[in-house]
């Protein structure tokens, strides 16, 4: 059986550079259905049984830009065997925002920490083991420019795809209990692996997810009540609650994984 891995990440994180090294001449270039956004897929040089998909560059998985919608639909409906999240490690905080959402798709995720040559040149050190521990998924240092780490990245992704395990950030317990309640209301409307994704999207009042689920009016009412109560507790809008929680998770991760050198305080913003 052929396996399908997808490269996802911010624009200019190095996805296409990695894709080109990994697939070589085994590439197919077309367009995504209905849009003029280029679609590149190919077979891995090291195994023709693994297809690689180069997804459009995005900063988040929202329903607003065609690139975000393409990526979201591909991940949720085509369900690749694993996501390779290519990170510009010299812009860790910004890049990890998308990571929190990729983890919530219910697919196995491996982080390809790209641009490690730049991190090194800047005199920064990222503790990859601690980052992996904090995220709950493998984190592989690499440089698509210097062609380092790519073999290990693919080997690790193959292992994760076999195991098919998922990990996702845990947020404030008050938010978590709202998400649990929404998950209960969803029941088996969605698969077990995707229930967290949809619970979060419904909590954020994401129109794309809401439309796609075809909920009963009772389900909608119960979910609305949970959202209203939680907004009161946090004194904030539901979508803003999630954004804040994501950044708090990322801040904790970075303080765990970034090592300050030479007594200088790192400026990560
Ligand atoms: P994409 O938008 O994610 O597909 O990113 P690209 O693969 O097009 O890369 C964006 C830019 O970053 C290009 O100029 C690449 O040559 C450069 N680049 C990619 N990977 C690395 C890396 O590991 N180190 C350095 N220094 N530059 C890289
Ligand atoms: K680019
Ligand atoms: Mg590209």
Q: How far is the CA of 24 from the centre of ligand 1 (A)?
A: 16
pLDDT surpassing 80 at residue 264: no
Q: Is 105 in the pocket of ligand 1 (CB under 6 A)?
A: no
Distance 194 CA to ligand 1 centre (A): 31
Does the pLDDT of residue 262 top 60, yes or no?
Answer: no
Is pLDDT at 223 greater than 50 in this prediction?
yes
Query: What is the predicted pLDDT for the residue at 80?
Result: 98
Structure confidence at residue 60 (pLDDT): 96
Q: Which two tokens stand for residue 7?
A: 């490269």
pLDDT (0 to 100) of residue 261: 54
Q: Could you identify the residue written with the tokens 């890049």?
A: 95
Pocket test for ligand 1, best of 144, 146, 153 (most atoms within 8 A of CB): 144
Percent of the chain with pLDDT over 70: 96
Mean pLDDT of the chain: 93
Residue 157 CA, ligand 2 centroid: distance in Å: 23
Measured CA distances, 76 to 67, 101, 130, 205 (Å) = 14, 12, 29, 18
User: Tens digits of per-residue pLDDT, 123-148?
Assistant: 999 999 999 999 999 999 999 999 99
* Assembly ipTM: 0.97
Q: Are the CB atoms for 29 and 40 separated by under 8 Å?
A: yes
**204 pLDDT above the threshold of 80:** yes
**Alpha-carbon torsion, ordered 97, 98, 103, 108, to 10 deg:** -140
- Which of 13, 14, 57, 111 gets mutated to test ligand 1 (max ligand atoms within 8 A of its CB)? 14
- pLDDT band of residue 267 (cuts 50, 70, 90) is low
Burial 9-27 (b: 16+ CB within 10 A, else e): bbeebbbbbbbeebbeeee
pLDDT of residue 250: 98
For 204-208, what is the mean pLDDT? 92
If pLDDT is split at 50, 70 and 90, which confidence band does 63 have? confident
Q: What is the pLDDT of residues 161-189, one digit of tens each?
A: 999 999 999 999 999 999 999 999 999 89
| Cα–Cα distance measured from residue 57 to residue 66, given in angstroms and rounded to the nearest whole number | 11
pLDDT of 269 > 60? The answer is no
- Taking only the tens place, the pLDDT of each residue in 12-44 is 999 999 999 999 978 888 898 888 898 999 999
Residue 9's pLDDT band, with cuts at 50, 70 and 90, is very high
pLDDT at residue number 263: 45
Q: What is the pLDDT of residue 93?
A: 95
């Amino acid at each position: 059986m052929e396996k399908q891995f997808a490269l996802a990440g911010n624009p200019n994180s190095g996805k296409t550079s990695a894709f080109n090294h990994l697939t070589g001449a085994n590439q197919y270039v077309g367009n995504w259905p209905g849009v003029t956004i280029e679609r590149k897929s190919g077979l891995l040089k090291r195994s023709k049984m693994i297809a690689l998909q180069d997804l459009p560059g995005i900063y988040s998985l929202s329903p607003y830009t065609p690139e975000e919608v393409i990526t979201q639909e591909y991940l949720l409906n085509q369900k690749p065997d694993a996501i390779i999240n290519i990170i510009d490690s010299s812009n860790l905080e910004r890049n990890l925002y998308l990571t929190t959402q990729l983890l919530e798709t219910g697919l196995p995720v491996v982080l390809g920490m790209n641009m490690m040559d730049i991190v090194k040149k800047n005199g920064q050190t990222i503790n990859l083991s601690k980052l992996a521990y904090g995220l709950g998924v493998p984190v592989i240092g690499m440089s698509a420019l210097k062609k380092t780490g790519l073999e290990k990245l693919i080997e690790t992704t193959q292992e994760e795809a076999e195991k098919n395990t998922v990990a996702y950030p845990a947020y404030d317990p008050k938010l978590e209990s709202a998400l649990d309640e929404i998950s209960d209301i969803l029941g088996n409307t969605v698969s077990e692996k995707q229930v967290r994704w949809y619970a979060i999207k419904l909590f954020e009042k994401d129109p794309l997810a809401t439309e796609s689920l075809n909920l009963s009016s009772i389900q909608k009412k119960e979910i609305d009540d949970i959202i209203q109560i939680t907004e009161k507790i946090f004194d904030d809008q539901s979508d803003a609650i999630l954004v804040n929680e994501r950044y708090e998770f990322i801040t904790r991760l970075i303080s765990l994984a970034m090592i300050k050198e030479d007594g200088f305080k790192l400026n990560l913003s």
